Structure 1
Amino acid sequence: MAQWSTVEADHHQFTIGERQADTLAVAVESSLFDAGSDFLTVRTGVAYGPVSIGVEILRDQPDSTLFEDWENVAECTINASTLCVMTLQGDPVQDFTDLTVIEPGRYRVRVHARGRDANWDMDVTEPTEDYLVQLWPVPRTQGFLRLKKTDTAWSEVDPKIPIATQAAARESVQAPNPQALGRPKLKRLVNRNSVSRFQLRNFTAVSDVAHLDRLLAEKLLALRDDELRSVAQWLPRRALAKAGLLDIEWVSNAVTVLEAGLWERPKDIYAAAVRAMTGGDPEIPVTQIVSVFDGQKPVDPVFGAMNALIYGFDPDPAVATFLALHGTLLAYGPQWKDLVNELEAAFPRIATWTIEGS
């Protein structure tokens, strides 16, 4: 019988695996989870907040009768001596006592998910998504299998693997190289402990920036945390100025708070920014420009500027930098090279740094 509890999703994810697993060492990518030799990082629909999770330890492979109750089901193999359910920051959920007594060895892990489309990219205070994780020992490593998929969350990162039939459920299916799918695989030039649990190279904002300016993305990935924090502080003012919003009092005050080094984003700033992004603030003009990431899709620069402000407060400096940069690039639109020039002028190390092999 499964043990049920909740885990806090953070940046659309939580992890199951070894406490000290290197979650950047991804071998399998899918719409449901990324996995390495000793972990799975599950992708959630909500950006932040609790999700329900059940964990069931089995003696052998279960049947497929549960599939009709779930929207996405996939499985892979991991090796483990100890396992836990944990947050992005590595904090374990203590409720899953069954995981603490499993024997060291090789385990097949089947993840079931539902509800991920309901509150996509939202902050929630109550669970709106359910996950059932089943584990059983196996004698050898088997590849990734997708067993069911009817939801749309994270579909853009799915490998081109068909849904396995029940008759072939025990067969290994290897994921193609993600580079072959046209998604840049950014090399990590340094390892910063603060982002070791965040799969930054698979982050949509990093991929978008890399498609636009690969060298810039690589240089930013190589910056120290204090340098990244400075960039994250610097970007929102440029985005908001480009969108014509700095003359609004609460916007100007919010930028001042950010630049003062207060990383705990005040709730009133977040609420005001969300209202502005959704057209609920009469002071905020509505305009459209061509998206820098999609030459045909129109985008409101206010959306990008407000995102730069919101995410500039992120406690992880690398995440704050790339999300704020993503939003600022949206605010600049076709003039995005002007932003790169301003960024290099403000941070000469970025301008002069040559990345080996670039």
Structure 2
Amino acid sequence: MTTPTEGRYAEQFVEFHSFELLGARLISSFDNSVLREHLTEPDEMVSIRTGIHTGWVLVAVERLGSPPTEPVAQEWQTVVEASIEPLETTAVVGSATSGPNRLLPELRAPERGFLRLRVSARNRDEHYDGAGGDPLEFYLVQAWPGGSPDGIVVRDSGRASAELQGPSVVDAAAPPSMWSSGITR
């Protein structure tokens, strides 16, 4: 599979099913229980949930000037959006225990201070709840200026999502355009 970020991934260590966006807080509401299972907000960071419990994943970060206009590629099994506010002028992917990942670009806040964040994931089912050596999971973190009070699930499929949410998981057979509009059931 070829993605726009191929060759720009960096390894990121995962502990307890997550890696973090350090130096940020969520500003989106979480009325949707499915969304809460993908992004959480411990102190001064946003946690991004993974399938693997402990080990390495591959992460790419894209700084965009405006929202993506192309449809989400089918290879991404889970895609969620939320708005964040960097606590300083930047936020960075990393780990609460090992600090920032210096191989990935920082996300700089625009003058008004908010960024819209899209997190896309694939292969979360490959070694769910395990520990692994070679990275099997891929994450794309995209950010652009702007903010919205609502977090949305653009797409949510795969066994890892179903196990995290239980019976409230979205219908994976529904057309992707339904999720692009932010409509959930």
If the TM-score is normalised by the length of the shorter chain, which range does it land in? 0.7 to 0.9
User: In the alignment, is the contact (CA less than 8 A) between 1:13 and 1:88 conserved in 2?
Assistant: no
SS of equivalent to 1:45 = coil
Q: How far is 1:124 from its partner?
A: 1.1
The equivalent position to 1:32 in structure 2, one of 38, 60, 66, is: 38
Distance 1:47 1:143, change over 3 A: same
Q: How far is 1:44 from its partner?
A: 1.1
Q: 2:18 — aligned with what?
A: 13
In structure 2, stretches of 5+ residues that fail to align are none
Distance 1:88 1:132, change over 3 A: same
1:10-159 maps to which residues of 2 (within 5 A)? 10-18=15-23, 28=30, 29-35=35-41, 39-80=45-86, 81-89=89-97, 91-96=99-104, 98-99=105-106, 101-103=108-110, 105-138=113-146, 140-158=147-165
Q: How far is 1:82 from its partner?
A: 1.4
Q: How far is 1:154 from its partner?
A: 4.2
CA distance in 1, matches of 2:170, 2:52: 26
CA distance in 2, matches of 1:106, 1:94: 22
SS of equivalent to 1:70 = coil
Distance 1:161 1:116, change over 3 A: closer
Distance 1:36 1:167, change over 3 A: farther
Q: How far is 1:157 from its partner?
A: 4.3
Q: CA RMSD in A?
A: 3.4
In structure 1, stretches of 5+ residues that fail to align are 175-358
CA distance in 1, matches of 2:170, 2:17: 24
User: In the alignment, is the contact (CA less than 8 A) between 1:38 and 1:78 conserved in 2?
Assistant: no
SS of equivalent to 1:61 = coil
* Alignment deviations for residues 216-270 of structure 1 (CA, whole Å, 9 cap, x no partner): xxxxxxxxxxxxxxxxxxxxxxxxxxxxxxxxxxxxxxxxxxxxxxxxxxxxxxx
CA distance in 1, matches of 2:91, 2:178: 30
User: In the alignment, is the contact (CA less than 8 A) between 2:154 and 2:179 conserved in 1?
Assistant: no
CA distance in 2, matches of 1:39, 1:64: 28
Distance 1:36 1:124, change over 3 A: closer
Higher relative contact order (CA 8 A, sep 6+): 2
Identity of aligned residues (%): 23
In the superposition, the TM-score normalised over structure 1's length comes to 0.41
**Which is helix-richer, 1 or 2?**
1
User: In the alignment, is the contact (CA less than 8 A) between 1:27 and 1:34 conserved in 2?
Assistant: no
SS of equivalent to 1:153 = helix
Q: Which of these two proteins has the greater Rg computed from alpha carbons?
A: 1
CA distance in 2, matches of 1:149, 1:6: 24
User: In the alignment, is the contact (CA less than 8 A) between 2:156 and 2:170 conserved in 1?
Assistant: no
User: In the alignment, is the contact (CA less than 8 A) between 1:10 and 1:88 conserved in 2?
Assistant: no
Distance 1:165 1:121, change over 3 A: closer
Letter in 2 for 1:135: A
CA distance in 2, matches of 1:170, 1:137: 19
**Which runs of structure 1 show a deviation greater than 6 angstroms over 4 or more consecutive aligned residues?**
none
* Alignment deviations for residues 75-127 of structure 1 (CA, whole Å, 9 cap, x no partner): 1111112101111415110012x316554511111111011111112111211
In the superposition, the TM-score normalised over structure 2's length comes to 0.74
User: In the alignment, is the contact (CA less than 8 A) between 1:37 and 1:79 conserved in 2?
Assistant: no
